[in-house]
Amino acid sequence: MYTRESNEHQYSFTHDWFVVPDLDENHELIKIAKAIDWTSLSDKLAQFYCPGNGRPTKPARAKVGLLILKHLYHFPDADLVDMLKRDIYAQYLCDISLKEAKDFINPSTLSKFRKQIGLEGVKLIEQEVLRSLERVKLLKGRKLICDTTVIPSNIAYPTDISLLEKIRQRTVRYLDEARQFGGRHFRTYKRIAKKAYIQYQKIRHHTIQSRRRTQKKLLQFSRRNVSQLKEVVKEISQAAGTFLENSKEKFLKETKAFLDTVSSIITQQEDIYKGLEVKERIVSIHKPHIRPMVRGKYPVEVEFGPKVLLSQKNGFLFLDDLQFNNISDVYLLDTALQRYAERFGNLPTQLTADRGFWSSENYTLAQEYGVSKIAIENKGKSSYLKGKPFARRLRRLRCQIEASISLAKRKFGLDRIRYSIEQGEEIWVRLSLIAMNLKTATGYG
């Protein structure tokens, strides 16, 4: 039977809208909220703030809770604040009432909070989560499973021509901005350079000759514009102070950092054009520390982002090391064992990893650390594991970390790093693993 809409919308205090909701105690956010010692965490994060001066800050529990929600559900900061207004379980996690949630926090506060606590603060959050896992005795045994993977950074796929075009565009923009500080006007050839780049982009398939011809043109334009910007920066630095002194200082700081990076890129591009080998190749203007990682794996042979060393215990993933160079796995086993000892206060008795970690030196090293059962596939036809009863069990155990890494990339944001703050790559990885471990601890992993 169809029910007509009532004309009466005057709610009384006995209406369901005003009744305290009956929360589901088995909800993952309720379990996460009860697992963490928020008082202890708040006391630790207090060191990043002045105890006496300034306005009172938002509670640490609310901001940490929002960071967990961000990496748990892949929400941008603005959507995260909207979720806090309408989701009662999110309010419970952040310890915020329905009335407070209406205009409790601005999205920019979360960005400032991440910069405020930095990597050191994120490590404190990670330690508190680890303590909560140990309190409920979810970390048992002394087994170490380790593996490496590359986590892509949030940059466009770099090509030599697109990189030179980005340098040229940004240099021209700085030259235009320099005029307000008394900078000279130069002929930048920006329309001719833009036309050359667009003509190249319109062609779907390029010959080697056309690619080299365009690369040479853009290299000349970029080199000329960078040289002009260097002259302008030198003139502005020597000029007397202006009424835009603060803006001038900011401009000089930005352009000097930019020139340091692009000078190296142009030198590298000149060597590439000449056919010379280039080491420590820069592939991004905004993130010059990113290096190409040649992994040779399907479907992407070359990735652009940090290489991370991950270890697993009882289904929980932990970050042991983060490198921007494609260091061989052979040199990372010692780091994995040391991080295990620092994290859990003892050394593992069982160790398993893929054949990338194998070397006779690593086998001896693991024995010196007291590892009695070592299952690292050696390179070659004959296996030292043949006939050992624990080998097959540890081989199957090693497959777990492959599945966990895949889950982390598909569900918890390790498919792409999206923080651009200082040490943002490691902050992103650690927060993603914190969210993943909390979800695993609630039984939803």
Q: Do residues 352 and 397 make contact, with C-beta atoms less than 8 angstroms apart?
A: yes
Whole-number pLDDT of residue 131 = 93
Q: Do residues 41 and 126 make contact, with C-beta atoms less than 8 angstroms apart?
A: no
- In this structure, the answer to whether residues 164 and 257 fall within a common structural domain is yes
Q: Which residues of the chain have pLDDT under 70?
A: 1-20, 240-244, 381-382, 444-445
**For residues 410 and 432, what is the distance between their CA atoms, to the nearest angstrom?**
11
Name the token pair of 326: 């494609």
- In this structure, the answer to whether residues 164 and 267 fall within a common structural domain is yes
346 belongs to a structural domain: yes
DSSP assignment of 135-182, as one string?
HTT---S-EEEEEEEE--BS-PPP-HHHHHHHHHHHHHHHHHHGGGGT
Number of domains observed in the structure of the chain: 3
- In this structure, the answer to whether residues 52 and 88 fall within a common structural domain is yes
- In this structure, the answer to whether residues 171 and 263 fall within a common structural domain is yes
329 belongs to a structural domain: yes
Range of the domain at 268: 160-273
Rg (CA), the chain: 28
- Backbone φ and ψ for 5, nearest 5 degrees, come out as -70, 135
| Alpha carbon 445 to chain centroid, angstroms | 21
Q: How many CB atoms lie within 10 A of CB 295?
A: 15
- In this structure, the answer to whether residues 348 and 361 fall within a common structural domain is yes
DSSP assignment of 274-306, as one string?
TT---SS----SS-TT--EEE---SS-SEEES-
416 belongs to a structural domain: no
Nearest to residue 366, comparing CAs of 344, 340, 398?
A: 340
Strands 302-304 and 350-353: unpaired
Name the token pair of 243: 């009424």
Q: How many CB atoms lie within 10 A of CB 18?
A: 9
Type of residue at 48: F
DSSP assignment of 349-389, as one string?
SEEEE-GGG--HHHHHHHHHTT--EEEEPPSSSS-TTTT-T
- In this structure, the answer to whether residues 311 and 404 fall within a common structural domain is yes
3 belongs to a structural domain: no
To which H or E segment does residue 313 belong? strand 307-313
- In this structure, the answer to whether residues 119 and 60 fall within a common structural domain is yes
8 belongs to a structural domain: no
Question: Residue 308's beta-bridge partner residues?
Answer: 149, 322
**For residues 366 and 333, what is the distance between their CA atoms, to the nearest angstrom?**
8
**For residues 445 and 441, what is the distance between their CA atoms, to the nearest angstrom?**
7
Whole-number pLDDT of residue 6 = 55
- In this structure, the answer to whether residues 267 and 310 fall within a common structural domain is no
221 belongs to a structural domain: yes
316 belongs to a structural domain: yes
The CATH number of residue 392's host domain is 3.30.420.10
Strands 143-150 and 350-353: parallel
pTM, to two decimals: 0.90
35 belongs to a structural domain: yes
- In this structure, the answer to whether residues 221 and 260 fall within a common structural domain is yes
- In this structure, the answer to whether residues 118 and 147 fall within a common structural domain is no
